[in-house]
Structure 1
Amino acid sequence: MSIETAKILILSFEIVIMVVSIVIITIGIFQSKNSQSGLSALNGGNDELFSNSKERGLDKTLSNWMTVLGIIFFLVAIAACIITNIYL
């Protein structure tokens, strides 16, 4: 792989990371308060940390999308770092 190809690949990875991060932020805004109990544990709140609430409908769909997009974000970021360290 040439340096020019690596630069184009890294640029495309950066664009994917930006788009995925914007979508993650948008989905996070639309999620209901009940489905964000895991985030309250990070902030120090324990209101619903041990509650037995199940996500249904739109909340479950948004939660699944957040998980998938988080994994995609992580993998693309790692791939961009590896390609940057190898070729540039």
Structure 2
Amino acid sequence: MATQVLPDVDTRPEGTETSGDDTPKLFHYVKKAKIAESAVLGSHVVALCGATFPVTRSPKPGSPVCPECKEIYDTFRKDDGDGGGD
């Protein structure tokens, strides 16, 4: 009996651009204190936009950011930088 070699077949669903790894498409804003806890314990964090997930990667400069999280974060920064009321 001879051994047969099957041809390589791409098994990804049509239209899928990734290979199935867990690289996030967008990075979210999360409370800093919760990031280390999630990375060590595997617990889920809640992003400003409401998304929940375990922290598995850290963003690199230029990484895509969730537009909802960025909008919410920017409103916090504007509130903090006004120097109080006159």
> Which of 1 and 2 has higher RCO (CA within 8 Å, sep 6+)?
1
TM-score normalised over the length of structure 1: 0.29
Structure of greater Rg: 2
More strand by percentage: 2
